[in-house]
Structure 1
Amino acid sequence: MTTRVWDYLTEYAKEKDDILDAVQRVFGSGQLVLGESVRGFEAEFAAYHGLAHGTGVDNGTDALTIGLQALGIGPGDEVVTVSNTAAPTVVAIAATGATPVFVDVRADDFLIDVDQVAGVITERTRAILPVHLYGQCADMAPLTALAGRHGLKILEDCAQAHGARHHGRIAGTMGDAAAFSFYPTKVLGAYGDGGAVLTDDAEVDRNLKQLRYYGMDKVYYVVRSPGQNSRLDEVQAEILRRKLTRLDDYIAGRNAVARRYEQRLGDLTGPGGLQLPATNPGNTHVFYVYVVRHPQRDRIIEALREYDIALNISYPWPVHTMSGFAHLGYARGSLPVTEALAGEIFSLPMYPSLTESDQDRVIDALRSVLETL
């Protein structure tokens, strides 16, 4: 039996009655689009974060795109972000007509190197898009201070950090707005696509609601400013309402899996050995994925296939090296830490319902493989 890096079937079996009740509630409600379930989830998800406004959208990429547009980002602007991220982060910037500008990440935590941001700000820079990567927050204090000095907007990419905290502040509350994905693998995952944007700014919220609905402002067929059709589905919203009440439990389960990895693999760390995730002081990690690093990553993954263990790489191709972004002009070697990570990082299985026996199987196989290198 293959052990996968993520699986939802055990969780579904446990929550099946609630999930199917959510579906039945929507189907019996008489309203299938932008109804009570979407409005309820938007309010409850915003309240979980202590924010005033939430806007449900079709997916996490749209959350980023519409979030940037709602903050006034568009053609001719520049947005500072990282290349060590899922491609949608950068695709969303390009979709607004703005230009992505990359800085490198740090070698210890793989997060945006905030010390490099000031050096890439130009007269065209309008926003910073920090990615709270793998389950923990970027170093936000210097970023917000820098943004304040230069009059820049901050859109937090929280797709991988539902419930993560940074010096007591929850991810999504430290910028002008925050984009979330509810793709099934996420810490708070739907049973299909979904996304949301949170903000405390009433004007930004009005922009978001308009942009996700063709650019229409309440009156159907009256477009105020061209937008798109990006509405969170009623069924997914109702499922997410139910799962939101269990989010803290999901986070606790992920942390338990992470502690077990640390306990059983900690002796393998050191120069040239396995690098385990580092949780920065002041951060509460939610371990969306459990990313480790080893200089012989490819040999390890290949060897683990013999044990029927399938692992993932987040991410094997830095965005700035992709052909679709060649026009940005980033040569190989321009982001050395990001490029080095791409050849050495991989993810171990991580989800709350991962059993100790399945996790031990992964750990034992990994230890055996590492002993042969």
Structure 2
Amino acid sequence: MKICTITCHDVYNHGASLQAYALMTYLERCGHEVEIIDYKPDYLSNHYNLLSVDNPKWDKNLLTKLIYLALKMPVKIPSLIRKKAFDQFTSKYLKLTKIRYSSNEELKKNPPYANAYLCGSDQIWNSLHQNGKDPAFYLDFVPPGKLKASYAASFATDTLVDEILPFVKKKVERLDGIGVREKSGVEILKRLDIINAVSVVDPVLLLDKKDWNILGGEKFVEKYILIYDFDNSDLIRKLTLEIANECGYKIYTINPGKINYADRYFKFVGPETFISLIRDAAFVISNSYHAAVFSIIYQKKFAIVNRKESINTRMRDFLSDLKLNQRLVDEDYNLNEILKMVNYSKSVELLNEKIIFSMKYLDETLLSNVKVRNVL
């Protein structure tokens, strides 16, 4: 079967790239022909634009813009190394449509051919950002008679603002199958009287450790704590320094941002190195959903901290489902408890059940399309 997927596949984020790769790879192993729709609307196309002014205070007139760009250019030019690493990953591993689309209207006029279309995974329905308000990520463009389903689409929050509810309800109830990533997403849809949604695992969990080892890059041998911090969190800094002092570990960071207390910095690396750094870490500390997921894949000692942005249901639901709530830490953490080995025996059992369920959801959803086509 020919399947097209649509997701935020090219936003220079490790988790976003790896989940797109994972769903494509799993579907191919099931015998399908898969393409990722190369969808890059304006709001997802400004990464590493050397001439962009990201702070509205400096966007008032030509003079302030020029001053801003002059101040930021020494930072922006080196960051192109990171862009290159991600672009190489995309070119090497992701099978994209030949046409790049920039709007839902373009997709409607000339949709890529497929028997079935899947939207997901990751935060494609996060309405705190523009992608959650974009009809394309709800498969609005799919021609009549074609199967439309979501796989592990995430709202990223517990609730939606009232203004977006009619839009979400109208778009989601059109889908032939509804798989969301968090159980909180199922509850959101129930409140919209959509009762056929199910919770499925992130696509990276459809592949196993051996698969990710093949994708991973260099080997890191010394003992280190890996930090992946989107907020420059004071809590992550405090916890990291305490563990480093207690255990004698080095500190590595994969952040492109302002972390200044690490021994080694991996600011400009791509997704392969992200996998390697988690695989070889003695401890992982992060506020990233996919850092939590890969820490569990590799059965690491880890601690997850909430983000400043209201998107923490992702980590909370995931860790709760696997009985690993204690790995989500706050200011009242107990260092001795955090340093204990993680007991993965029950978590692995629960995770395997969820993976089997998720695979069955995909199989049955796609099989329903075959049955409909045979009837027609």
What is the TM-score normalised by the length of structure 1? Answer: 0.29
Question: Greater helix share, 1 or 2?
Answer: 2
Of structures 1 and 2, the one scoring higher in RCO (CA 8 A, sep 6+) is: 1
**Structure 2 length-normalised TM:** 0.29
